[in-house]
Structure 1
Amino acid sequence: MAARNPRTSRERMVDAAFALFDEQGYDATTVEQIVERAAVSRSTFFRAFGSKDDVIFPRHDELQARIEARLDTGTSQTYRVALREAAGLVLAQYLAEGQVALSRYRLTRSVPALRDREVASMVGYQRLFREHLRRWLAEVGGPDVDLHAELLAASVVTAHNVVLRRWLRGETTDPWHEYDDAMSSVLAAAGDTTGGPAAAQDTTVVVLRGDRPVEEVVQAVRRALEP
């Protein structure tokens, strides 16, 4: 039985590219050097990536599609959960990349064109949040829907980016905990921005020690929400 290659050609190209970027710099690295180190052909490279830049920001379209799909399931009653989980997809992507994400962070700090592309992707995520928020808030009704949608979308993206940068700089070893706290702060500060029916709903606060088992937390929340 032939041994399976533990790394796909795409993964080998990404690894080779970032290794070369670290060794000799982004500008000095060519596609020819990447394919030689990854032991693939030029045609294989260009089937996977449109350019050298695309190696640094792989699968952006796929991630954006997943974010939009999650937002599409939200409603005017559940949009806070949709926002939290959709933004969490971006954080999960970076955490899963590990060393690649850290290398990208170093590159985007030193190459202005790459930084501009990264900012453009963040603007794209914010646009998705804003468009869905405008629809959700309009369904509930209230003044200044466009303004509130813009402010909340910007707050969600900013909170996510703060946590992500802290992880990339090695300032936190528990990014998910910080992300949950950041999103809770953003959504609590937003409150009911519409002045609609949600403003009249009661708020239930459940306080538990952080080391409690998950099953105990779930039961406590259920008891608190019982009529």
Structure 2
Amino acid sequence: MTEDRRPAKKPPMRDVLAEAAFALFMERGFERTTVDDIVASAGVGRRSFFRYFPSKEDAVFPDHERCLAEMTAFLDTAGDGDPVDTVCDAARLVFRMYAEKPEFSVQRYRLTREVPGLRTYELSVVRRYERTMAGYLERRWGDTPDAALRAEVIAAAVVAAHNNGLRSWLRSGGRGDAGAEVDRALELVRSLWGAAAERPLPPVAEEDVIVMIAPKGAPMWRVVQRIEAAIGEEEAVAER
């Protein structure tokens, strides 16, 4: 049997930089690690780092851009199935990204709890997923009344449910069946919104408006007294 003498395939430079960065973040702390430290550890120049990552924060989340692109492609090619089911399936793409590297995901979760700037950055990434799902829902419902409102509310519910299940798994150190936790959380969204998503919303109640003119310099107690008197007259008329 002939021995395979082909050289091992090198990992992509983006992965090399991300791994070097994260190792330093865990060793020295995020704030004390510089871009120069990262490129020195990876054995490349600063230009190489900024070719792949605009900032140190981006190196902590190297896989979100890919996942967001996958979600966008998934929603763009989704069929005519239930829209709520579809966005729940899209959320599972994010979970699978975390589950592919459980140890890294748990360490990153702990790091983001310690560094407020990373938490803020993470929230901005989550918001991008939410907007992508809301955009899909709004397109699916087209001219349906309140399509934009429904889309925003349901996308936010899907993200909240997914994150609840994911955080439970991350807090446990990556133990247990994370997929079951996420499925359970998303099933709640399906049960609440699946059938109700296209029902007509109740009309907005019209409120009576009272317009009152008061002399300049009138004491506040007098203004309040007149408003209360006007409200009392309205209630008296309504009771007749």
* Superposition deviation, residue 67 in structure 1: 0.9
Structure 1: tracts of 5 or more residues without a match: 197-227
Q: RMSD of the alignment, in Å? A: 2.2
- Asked if 2 retains the 8 angstrom alpha-carbon contact of 1:73 and 1:82, the reply is no
* Superposition deviation, residue 86 in structure 1: 0.8
Matched AA of 2:182: Y
Q: Which residue of 2 aligns with 1:40?
A: 44
Aligned counterparts of 1:151 and 1:50: Cα–Cα separation in 2: 32
Structure 2: tracts of 5 or more residues without a match: 201-240
Aligned counterparts of 1:158 and 1:30: Cα–Cα separation in 2: 33
Q: Which residue of 2 aligns with 1:185?
A: 188
TM-score normalized by structure 1?
A: 0.76
Aligned counterparts of 2:53 and 2:91: Cα–Cα separation in 1: 25
- Rg bigger for which structure? 2
Match of 1:145 among 144, 147, 158: 147
Aligned length: 194
Aligned counterparts of 2:53 and 2:103: Cα–Cα separation in 1: 20
Aligned counterparts of 2:55 and 2:151: Cα–Cα separation in 1: 35
State which drifts further: 40-49 or 28-37: 40-49
State which drifts further: 3-12 or 49-58: 3-12
Task: List aligned pairs for 1:1-227, cutoff 5 A.
Answer: 1=5, 3-5=7-9, 7-74=11-78, 77-138=81-142, 141=144, 143-170=145-172, 172-190=175-193, 191-195=195-199
SS at the partner of 1:26?
coil
- Residues 51-70 of structure 1: CA deviation (Å, up to 9, x unaligned): 22221121433321211111
Matched AA of 1:181: R
Aligned counterparts of 2:129 and 2:53: Cα–Cα separation in 1: 22
- Asked if 2 retains the 8 angstrom alpha-carbon contact of 1:70 and 1:82, the reply is no
